[in-house]
Amino acid sequence: MNYITRTVWILSFVSLFTDMASEMLYPIMPIYLKSIGFSIVLIGFLEGLAEATAGLSKGYFGKLSDKKGIRVPFVRWGYALSAFSKPMMALLSFPLWIFFARTIDRLGKGLRTGARDAILSDESSIETKGRVFGFHRSMDTLGAVIGPLLALAYLYFHPKDYKTLFYLAFIPGLLAIAASFLLKDQRRMPNEKRITISFFSFLHYWKQSPVEYRRLVSGLLLFTLFNSSDVFLLLKMKEAGMNDIDVITIYIFYNLVYVIFAYPIGILADKIGLKKIFLSGLTLFAIVYFCMGMNTNPIIYYLLFFLYGIYAASTEGIAKAWISNISERKDTATAIGTFTAFQSIFTLLASSIAGIMWYSFGSTTVFITTSIIIVFVVLYLSQFLLKKI
């Protein structure tokens, strides 16, 4: 594993600790917000604002990182903001303060994402991109397994003590900050001049980017437009009669599958091609959604979430590795940041579309329609199998 460098290990542990902190709070966030007086509408608006902040800032800070020629400060401050936002959420319960703390958390994600992925790209070659990004995603998702387990264990002994969890989540956040100080920047283009760019300047990259980048990202965004939040998968299980413990257990199981398979799939992607693995993952997605629309058997959900974990391991890190291969090295953070910015916005639209369809036509229509559309996305992206990118 000599291709997993010291820097990749450090970044992976930083992500693990951060995701552990975030996922400790994921299952109880809506419950906590309701307990301090937030309505469903206000919770929805809060999450929409937070995700929009993360999405748009990914593009801006990605471009700024490329312009300055540095990465580590963006990574370090990004993880620090997310860590400090956790206890802030419990400190005061005023709506404006909660909005501020949640926005700080998502701003931290936007600040670090492009620069972090650019470091991963710089630490790998075309032949090892899949395994490097896969290893990082595996470690990151391990936090998503440990976090909910810690939360469930704490709430078992201290039911409804949600506030303390926000303070406890600060501990892995601090570990992430400490680990980030072990990173060192490899200055590629030292620039002593003060650089200022407009917040939406990353949008110009779309016109300047390679044609292959625009074609690929267009396909990825079409997929994103119909890839609604995983909350809808959990709601589908609830609709089938499963209880909260079963739903959370399957969610943890899904993340565990992701952890186990992300790195081996990354290795396989380096051997047979990123494109083949990615398209195989999307095909699995279409199968899972079609079956989710038809299934009512609780046992089958475990099989479907096993396949869903394989899909996630085959696409999330692989997509970024693929993008980094078709963009110039000096623009890596901008290319990934621009994609993830649009991706965040399209994810919001996807969940809105799914919610309206569910309300109007029922859950089966949502899953079957999504499955059919994703088949067309796979056919569109299949064009890249004939090209050497």
pLDDT at 103: 86
Task: pLDDT band for 194, please (50, 70, 90 cuts).
Answer: low
Q: Per residue in 142-180, pLDDT tens?
A: 998 899 889 888 888 888 788 899 999 999 999 999 999
Burial 222-239 (b: 16+ CB within 10 A, else e): bbbbbbbbeebbbbbbee
pLDDT at 192: 47
- All structural domains of the chain with their residue ranges: 6-183+202-386
pLDDT at 40: 58
pLDDT at 384: 79
Amino acid, res. 74? F
Q: Per residue in 278-300, pLDDT tens?
A: 999 999 999 999 999 888 788 89
Better-scored residue on pLDDT, 242 or 119: 119
User: Quick one: tokens of 112?
Assistant: 């670090």
Coil/strand/helix, residue 357: helix
Better-scored residue on pLDDT, 297 or 13: 13
User: Quick one: tokens of 216?
Assistant: 């690929």
Give the span between the Cα atoms of 357 and 53, in whole angstroms.
26
- Residues 6 or more apart whose CB falls under 8 angstroms from that of 139 comprise 12, 13, 15, 16
Distance, first Cα to last Cα, the chain: 25
Give the span between the Cα atoms of 256 and 67, in whole angstroms.
38
- Residues 6 or more apart whose CB falls under 8 angstroms from that of 39 comprise none
Highest-pLDDT range among 77-91, 95-109, 198-212: 77-91
Q: How many CB atoms lie within 10 A of CB 241?
A: 9
Please check whether the domain covering 6-183+202-386 is classified as CATH 1.20.1250.20: yes
Q: How many CB atoms lie within 10 A of CB 351?
A: 20
Task: pLDDT band for 269, please (50, 70, 90 cuts).
Answer: very high
When pLDDT is averaged across residues 221-233 and rounded to a whole number, the result is: 86
15 pLDDT exceeds 50?
A: yes
Burial 266-280 (b: 16+ CB within 10 A, else e): bebbbeebbbbbbbb
Structure-derived torsion over alpha carbons of residues 194, 326, 131, 69, reported in degrees to the nearest 10: -10
